[in-house]
Structures are given as C-alpha cells and as structure tokens.
Structure 1
C-alpha cells in the first residue's frame, strides 16, 4: 500500500481517470490533481516520485518532472492497475517508465557511460542502473511533482528556484524529506544542472549532506540545454576525481 498523505488526497481523482493510450493536458492538468497554485505557477500531483529507495548508492536529482514524464507516469500507472497489479507494483512501473523519459534519459546515460560510473558499482553497463529491480539507483526531483509556469514546464529559471519565496521552501522540504531516508547509506548524489546543484550546495552548507557526496558540475541532460556538451567537457576531469575519491572511501 502507498501510504503517503499526498496519494491519499488524490487517490479518488486517479481512480476516476479513464485508462487511455495517451493523455492530453486537458485530461491531467485538472483541479482534481492540482497540488497547489500560486499566481501563474501550478504544481500537479504525479505518482512516479512517491517511491523512495533507501538502499540506493546513487541518487540522481532533477528539478521537476515535465509534462512528458507526468503523462507517461499516469498512463503506465493506469495500465498497471488495469492488469491487477498492487499499488506498490503499479507505482514502481510508473517510476521505471517515466523517470527522465525520452531523449533526456539517453543523454543522461551517455554522460554516465563516459564517466564509467557503472564500473565503480559493479555493473556491466550503465543501462543496468535503470533496469527494473535495480536497487542501486534512486531517481527524484527537488520539486517532487510537476511544476508549470503559465502552462509550460518549469526549468528552474523563471522564477529562479533559489530566490523564489514560493518554490524554494517546497524544494527544501521535498528533498530534505528524502535525504533523511537516503543518507543512511551515504549515497553519491548527482544533481542535474546548475539550479539543482545550487540547492545541493545549500544542503551541504546546512550539514544535511557532505560535499564529497555530490558529483558537482554534471550538466542538465535536457535536449533544451544546448550547452550540455561543452559543460560536460569542462567538468569531466573534476567529476572523474569526485567519483574516484567517493568510491575509494566506501
């Protein structure tokens, strides 16, 4: 059973969604799934970041799920329920399908492959991290649920996450709750992009995590980040050093 208060709040609206091969924004961006609203900023509930893997040795954190991830999560969840799966199984399927879905996942895997991360954790290839049942990886977003600004995916810039009196507390609350569970294993955190990295710097400064636990400089893998190749090249050697020191200390 999924016991979170957020899921309990939206469970009826999720049950009322008809199963579809594809959902439109009109299907999902509805009052029944609205988590919160502030001016032109809207946060909608989505199921795929509900599950936390406290045994993870690697934690990849993005900014917030986008529309594509939200749609895939709901579509997969409803299909799983239709197949008679339990709540936990259905949420697990939704997470596996939706996390960093599409070209973002391909870009992410390529950069992790170039860093040789799979060798340090004893996997044959980096794709195995995302394989069903792999307990080495936890994926999340500092803003756990999809955020839209004027109906568009929030990118962390308008408004800037770290100066937003509305979004920053949510981000610190969401990721802080997860770190309390995750940090028992002292995982390697991979913040995606400068905005998420800035938030993780504040977590280091507050003593929640150690500086050596973070892979600093990892670009956001979105295809919209046209500078990611240059950013990756510039940070490459520094990231290799961080990974080497982190696993040498394990």
Structure 2
C-alpha cells in the first residue's frame, strides 16, 4: 500500500467548515484504513528546527487528537495564520491531559529542566516551546479496532501500514533535527529509536531512555520512579530493580550531556 501524504492544506477547510461534533463522529478527518487500523489527520505538522529535545510518544491518542483539532479550529476562527494555528494546536494537544502532568514530573525529577536552564519542564509546553519538538513515531491518530493503538500489536515495523507512517513522518523529523536529544516514552518507542540508530539515522548517545511511560495506566511505576512509593508498597506487576537500573543509567547519561 502507498500512504497518502496527509498535510494541513488537505484538511484546513474541513476543520473550518464543520462542527467539532461532526469532525469527531464522522470520517471527515480519516486518512486511510488498513485491516483493523485507521489513521485520522492530527494537526501536528509543525517541526521546530531549533529544538534541543525531542519528546517521542507512540501516536496521538484520541484525547490529544481532539484537543489539537479543537485548538486548531479555534485559532483559525480567531484569525491566526496557518503556521500559528498549527503551533497552537501542537502546544495544546501534544501529550495533553494527565499524560502531560506525569511527563513533567518525571522529567523534572531527573533534572532535565536544570540542563535546559529553565524553572520546570512545564515551560516546554508554554514559553519555552522553542527548546522542544513534541513528536511521536506515528504522527497521526491511529486506532486499532476503534481504540488507541498502544504500540505493540500489531508490531510497528512488521506492519506495512504502521511502518510507512514511521518512514514517511518520523524519519524526516530526525533528518531535520540531527543534533537533538531524543526522549522515548514507552518500550516500543525505545526499541524503534534504537533500531533507527542501528540504521544510522541517529546515534545511541542521542537517545535518553529509561523513563516510565507517563500514562495513567502506569501509575505505580511512575510513583516508584518519583520516590513516592517504596519497594515494599509495590505490586508483583512492578519490577523495582529494573526501574532503579534504568533510572540510574539515564541520570548518569544526562549528567554527561551538554544541551
């Protein structure tokens, strides 16, 4: 299959002319379908060429997608330019909801804000957006059987539809940001960044992994990572030694970095 080159100019009029209820309950923003997978246009086209940090998720979930489309539509109605509307959409939608609050906590916990010489990484979503590229391996909202794609099944690299998304949208971002530090959120993202590193798209030194995924479903691991839970308070589902080892390695790596 050939992946359509979905971009803002293809969907701007649709976003402007239809209500949010219609946009989110129809296929107006659907790009394509492949077996159980569907992709929906998300206004995350903007690339910040001066970013020092790239936060990499799996794909925008439905919450992030809706928040971004809503912000984009509002910005266009208020008379903002296309580029301004896209910047507002990304700042509003990227990692939005509880995900963002957890992300800020874990990034601040290891001192990323100090490396960037800012008060808190919350500023990466506000006045310090020029320092960051909010990204995901799959730029569009991807649903699998109507639910958010979680990064594991189907496998991103073995599935032609998903692999093309990585190749078509994400690899060009790496090529536009050859010196940035990449922070993967989730095991599947870690694996693919290291795979892309093996192909020469970026170096292993550019990958700062070891963070727990900021999803609310990962609450126990996040609490342990933040020292809010002790080992004896953890369920059998959480491996504290693995978290400790990954955390120590990323802190040591971060200390050696110059941003």
TM-score between the two structures when normalised by the length of structure 2: 0.85
Give, in whole Å, the separation in 1 of the partners of 2:47 and 2:253: 25
Query: Structure 1 stretches of 5 or more lacking a match?
Result: none
Structural mapping, 1:60-75, within 5 Å: 60-75=55-70
What is the aligned partner in structure 2 of residue 205 from structure 1? 198
Structural mapping, 1:1-250, within 5 Å: 6-18=7-19, 23-24=20-21, 27-28=23-24, 30-47=26-43, 49-132=44-127, 134-183=129-178, 186-226=179-219, 228-229=221-222, 230=240, 232-247=243-258
Contact 2:76 2:85 in 1 (8 A): yes
SS for the counterpart of 2:32 is strand
Contact 2:16 2:76 in 1 (8 A): no
Contact 2:186 2:212 in 1 (8 A): yes
Computed over aligned residues only, the root mean square deviation of the Cα atoms, in angstroms, reads 1.8
Report the alpha carbon displacement of residue 54 of structure 1 after superposing the two structures with TM: 0.8
Contact 1:212 1:246 in 2 (8 A): no
SS for the counterpart of 2:87 is helix
Report the alpha carbon displacement of residue 172 of structure 1 after superposing the two structures with TM: 2.8
Give, in whole Å, the separation in 1 of the partners of 2:10 and 2:94: 23
SS for the counterpart of 2:143 is strand
Give, in whole Å, the separation in 2 of the partners of 1:102 and 1:112: 16
TM-score between the two structures when normalised by the length of structure 1: 0.88
Contact 2:137 2:189 in 1 (8 A): yes
Contact 1:188 1:246 in 2 (8 A): no
Residues 65 and 120 of structure 1, relative CA distance in 2, 3 Å threshold:
same
- How many residues are matched? 237
SS for the counterpart of 1:224 is helix
Report the alpha carbon displacement of residue 134 of structure 1 after superposing the two structures with TM: 2.8
